[in-house]
Amino acid sequence: MTRPGGGRAGTSTMLLFVAVGALLAAAMAVATSAPDDLTAGSAAPEPATSSVPPSTSSAERSAEPPPPKPPEDPCAAKIAALPLRARLAQLVVVGVDPRGPADALAAVQGEQVGGIFIGGDDVGLLSADALAPVHAASALPLTVAVDDEGGRVQRIEAIAGPMLSARRMAADLSPDQVRALAHERGRALRERGVTTDLAPVLDTSGQPDRTVIGDRSFSPDPDTALGYALAFAAGLHDADVVPVVKHFPGHGNTSGDSHLGAVQSPPLDALRATDLVPYRHLTRFGEVVVMLGHIDVPGLTGGKPATLSPEAYALLRGEFGFTGPAMTDDLGAMRAVTDLFSLPDAVTQALAAGADIALWSSGGRVGEVLDHLERAVAAGTLPAARVDEALRRVLASKQVC
């Protein structure tokens, strides 16, 4: 006999065992048919990819072209052969006594300066072959500079006759006639050992004749000033004399005379429409030097004279694309600078700011200036790389390399 309800309980138990057995069998079947890291219903992963690039065989590497070599610096060996003091000496042009060669010989033989400047009205040093022993004493080609623009700024009137002012040239002569005139003048200079003329003036000015620029400017019109300055520079080139165009970024419309004190030009944006227009054509001048003036330019120089302003040199090199030597106006006899700094400090600041040639017409003090420059290089205030950059331009302009 069975107990009441006993049949149903036994049947339920048996059914439970059967269900559990079926589930176990299904689980075992899945485990044997799928990878360990997959569960039922999951997709297989993408094959793994390596982040390491395939290796290149040595044969393939040897077939690749070598990287291009940097351009060779033709001046590197010349610069490396010069001691620091000799490098620095090449960056200065110092005034000498115009009466004879003794002072010039002392500057060249003593420190091998890069150049001399002959000012004043005495032409003793510019007569016959007076400069020949000075050139012979220089280990590297010597720059011999004069300030011969015409009008009230000329140096060889007693030898070659008077020359019209720039303003009179533009009024009375054609550009071709000006080129011929500058050629004759340049030939007279070159025959006497002069290599460089601090002309033509590229300033635009309509100011009266006797103002700081005045009749030294060809015209207040930038295109006219450019055309006549190009003609004058071409005439000097014809005579193998290096022109120096001046006074960047524009002295023709300043508030005063930088010989007498600080001066200010119109703001930079105004200069771009007038005084700076001719400088956009510097490549048309060929090989020239650009002289910077002692001009405070609002919006550019921050109260400093342009000759001592890194921003002024950056403007000349950048916006105006000039690659030749940049020269200072006179650092030793113009109060726009001398009221602010001693000569050694002014020369150091100018070279550090971007000048390649530092000029002082007052003469002497070469050893003192070079001592100061050597200390500045040692202290890092005048970087050695800046010295070599300037020297590279100077040597290239002298065709040394």
Phi-psi category of 337—alpha, beta or left, where left has phi over 0 and alpha has psi -120 to 50?
alpha
The CATH number of whichever domain residue 93 belongs to comes to 3.20.20.300
Number of domains, the chain = 1
- Give the pLDDT confidence of 217-268 residue by residue, as tens digits: 999 999 999 999 999 999 999 999 999 999 999 999 998 889 999 999 999 9
Confidence (pLDDT) at 56? 53
Q: Is the pLDDT confidence value at 19 over 60?
A: no
* Catalytic status, residue 329: yes
Q: Which residues contact 138 (CB under 8 A, 6 or more apart)?
A: 108, 112
Strand partners, 296: 264
Predicted local distance difference test score (pLDDT) of residue 359: 98
Q: Would you place residue 24 in the very low, low, confident or very high pLDDT band (cuts 50, 70, 90)? A: very low
Q: DSSP letter at 16? A: H
Residue 28: inside a domain, yes or no?
no
Q: Is residue 368 within 8 Å of residue 359, measured between CB atoms?
A: no
In a domain, 57, yes or no: no
Predicted local confidence at residue 14, as pLDDT: 37
Joined tokens for residue 262: 């600080």
pLDDT at 31: 39
Say which of 259, 345, 371, 388 is annotated catalytic.
259
> How open is the CA angle 74-279-396, to the nearest 5 degrees?
15
pLDDT classification of 150: cutoffs 50, 70, 90: very high
Residue with tokens 């890291």: 37
Instruction: Give a yes or no: residue 5 inside a domain.
Output: no
- C-alpha count within 13 angstroms, C-beta hemisphere, residue 131: 25
Among this protein's residues, is 259 annotated catalytic? yes
Is 82 part of a structural domain of the chain?
Answer: yes
Question: Residue 17: helix, strand or coil by DSSP?
Answer: helix
Query: Quick check: 202 and 278 in contact, CB under 8 A?
Result: yes
Q: What is the mean pLDDT of the chain?
A: 87
70 or 292, higher pLDDT: 292
Please name the helix (run of DSSP H) or strand (run of DSSP E) that holds residue 390, with its range, or none.
helix 384-397
Tell me: pLDDT of 142 over 60: yes
- Domain range enclosing 159: 76-397
pLDDT band at 68 (very low <50, low <70, confident <90, very high): confident
The one catalytic residue among 103, 329, 330, 356:
329
CA–CA separation, 202 vs 182, rounded Å? Answer: 15
pLDDT the model gives residue 55:
52
* Digit-coded pLDDT (tens) for 317-342: 999 999 999 999 999 999 999 999 99
Please report whether residue 88 resides in a domain.
yes
